[in-house]
């Protein structure tokens, strides 16, 4: 999986809808200035998707 969003080999645009509270929570986290200060919403979502995909593909993942 990509570690640099500016160097994606074959990028595709993905449009998602989430609740306003989720967007506000992401914005608040980025404004706190910790790890996510230099990122944007799209990068936050991309990383979340990659982490969830890796978690679901792991051997110890149990489906709900």
**CA 46 from centroid of its chain's CA atoms:** 3
Q: Model pTM?
A: 0.68
Q: What is the mean pLDDT of residues 19-32?
A: 89
Q: Shortest CA distance to 41 belongs to which of 56, 28, 55, 50?
A: 28
**Count of CB atoms situated within 10 Å of the CB of 39:** 15
Query: pLDDT per residue over 27-38, tens digit each?
Result: 888 888 776 656
If you count them, how many residues does the chain have? 64
The answer to whether residues 44 and 36 touch, using CB atoms and an 8 Å cutoff, is yes
**Helix, strand, coil in percent for the chain, rounding step 5:** 50, 0, 50
Q: Which residue has the higher pLDDT, 2 or 10?
A: 10
């Amino acid at each position: 999986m990509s570690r640099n969003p500016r160097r994606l080999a074959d990028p595709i645009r993905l449009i998602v809808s989430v609740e306003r509270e989720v967007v506000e929570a992401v914005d608040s986290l980025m404004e706190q200035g910790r790890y996510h200060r230099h990122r944007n919403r799209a990068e936050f979502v991309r990383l979340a998707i990659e982490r969830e995909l890796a978690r679901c593909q792991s051997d110890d993942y149990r489906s709900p």
